[in-house]
Amino acid sequence: MKKHHTLLLLAFAVISIVSCKEENNDGDWPPMKWEHSIPNFENNKIKADANGGVFILKNINYPAFYITNILDCDSLVYYFNPYEVDKPTFEYRGNWFSINKSNDTLKIEIQPKNNDVNRSLTINIEFLDAFNRLYIEQ
């Protein structure tokens, strides 16, 4: 009986050592990195002036992504449809903006504004277990 206990402890020790290899655990995925020519792009924030503009971002460390939701001035205007996960393109037109996605590239067009009211746009993005949020204010 003592021999069985010794073998059981030895097997447990081997399993413990073998199972301690380093892996990407959930939530440990590297953050998305963007290639762009947007001035003052910090912490995933874009400041658009009153004239609006076109902003193009290319994800450089993941082959694709999908947009999980869009908020226009903190109001949800788009929510992800799971049947669209494999679509390489995406297009959404809001009242003052449009978003086009093609594979790993995102194009955001902001229309000029004709008043002093501030507006904001939040785009939540995901690829597997990597998440990102882009925030645009005008």
Segment 109-118 mean pLDDT: 95
As a whole number, the mean pLDDT across the chain is: 85
CA 40 to each of CA 13, 43, 45, 60, 130: distance values in angstroms, whole numbers, following the listed order? 53, 10, 8, 19, 24
Residues 86-101 pLDDT 10s:
788 899 999 999 999 9
Q: Which amino acid is at 8?
A: L
Segment 112-131 mean pLDDT: 94
pTM (predicted TM-score)? 0.78
Does the structure show a pLDDT above 90 at 85?
Answer: no
d(CA 15, CA 81): 41
The pLDDT value recorded for residue 74 is 94
d(CA 88, CA 110): 22
Residues 56-69 pLDDT 10s:
999 999 988 999 99
The pLDDT value recorded for residue 11 is 47
Does the structure show a pLDDT above 70 at 3?
Answer: no
Residues 6-22 pLDDT 10s:
544 444 444 555 455 45
The pLDDT value recorded for residue 22 is 52
**What pairs with residue 92 in β-bridges?**
99
CA 79 to each of CA 49, 52, 91, 125: distance values in angstroms, whole numbers, following the listed order? 27, 24, 13, 11
d(CA 11, CA 40): 57
